[in-house]
Structure formats: structure tokens, C-alpha cells
Structure 1
Amino acid sequence: MWGPRKQGQRTVTCIACGDAVRRSDAREYDKYGDRWDRDGKEFEHLCKDCYRDLCHQPRAELEGLLVEINAGTHSQSEFLSWYCALVDERYGSPSEHERER
């Protein structure tokens, strides 16, 4: 039998920490949350440590919100201000949800 291929192992860059890791030591990240639908997609990657640190809760509508407020183009304080305001407007504030329980 053929042994494992050591030469030419592909490396990828972790989108969270920037480390270069072997593809076999990385996890695929699909910003749309559906890594099983692979047609026409190019996946980004996370190293195992960064992948473990992710919140694995559903994130429906998150990408749309981030695009809408142009995430990554403003300072952190501006981004957080706009993001919190938009989430409060659409879904209510966390304190409102606490009162409903």
C-alpha cells in the first residue's frame, strides 16, 4: 500500500489568528454556516485551537447584519455601537428578553 504523502502537504492560514497550519490540522469555516453544501465554494480555515474557541450556536442572519453595517471598515467602538443598535431595533434588547422569561 501507499504510505501517507508527506511531500507537498498543503498549508492554510487560520482566519482568526493568522497562523499557517497543515490543511489536515485545520477546520473548514463556511461563513454561510452550511459547510455541507460544497458546490462552488472556497472555504476559509481555522486552526484547531481557534475552532474550539468559537461559539457553535446558530448564527442565522449574522452575516447579513455584518454586511449591512460594513463590518471591518470602522473602528471597534463604531462597529459595536451600530451592531448593538441594529440588533436592539430588530430583535429587542437582552434586558427585554430577560423580563419575558
Structure 2
Amino acid sequence: MTCIACGETLDREDAREYDKHGDRWTREGKTFEYLCKPCDREYCHQNREGLEETLLAADAGRTDRKTFLRRFCELTTDNENFD
């Protein structure tokens, strides 16, 4: 496995599943990414409801950083799910 946060290569038993939708218990039709244990401990385990949709709406990975951050801030400022 490869940690999506730091790029470290590790054995499956040393990795933690990461579900970008925030619901790793609903497994049907999903593929998971992985984090090493140190990176897993560092990331926020809070509810991410609506986050993936907001990232897509802000063009994450498809636009430059400045534009993405502006769009993301605009979307999250108006979105009660992130209060």
C-alpha cells in the first residue's frame, strides 16, 4: 500500500483505510485509499458530510491553488454543514 498523505510504501496490515466519503463501514462498490498509522493519527476524524461534493464544486485538482481556495472558501462560508 502507499500512504496518500506522505507517500510511504507499507504492508496492508500496517495501513489504515481512508474513505473519502467518510463512511468506511458502507463498503459496497467502494475502493479505499490508505494512510500509514502516523498520518492516520494526524488527520481529522470529524464528519465530512458534503465535503467531497464541495471539493468537486470548487474544482479541486482541476484548477490552480488560488482559484480553488477562493471557491472553496466561498462555498463553505455559505454552507451550514461546515459550521
TM range (shorter): 0.7 to 0.9
The TM-score normalised by the length of structure 1 is 0.73
More displaced, 82-91 or 41-50? 82-91
Contiguous gaps of at least 5 residues in structure 2: none
- The amino acid across from 1:34 in the alignment is D
Deviations 1:36-82 (A, max 9, x none): 11122211100111111101111110011001111012222221111
Q: Identity across aligned pairs (percent)?
A: 51
> In structure 1, what is the equivalent of residue 15 of structure 2?
26
The TM-score normalised by the length of structure 2 is 0.87
Higher fraction of strand: 1
Alignment RMSD (CA, Å):
1.4
Contiguous gaps of at least 5 residues in structure 1: 1-11, 92-96
Structure 1 or 2, whichever has the larger Rg, is 1
Q: Considering Cα pairs closer than 8 Å and 6+ residues apart, tell me whether 1 or 2 has the greater RCO.
A: 2
1:70 matches 2:62: no
> How many corresponding residue pairs?
81
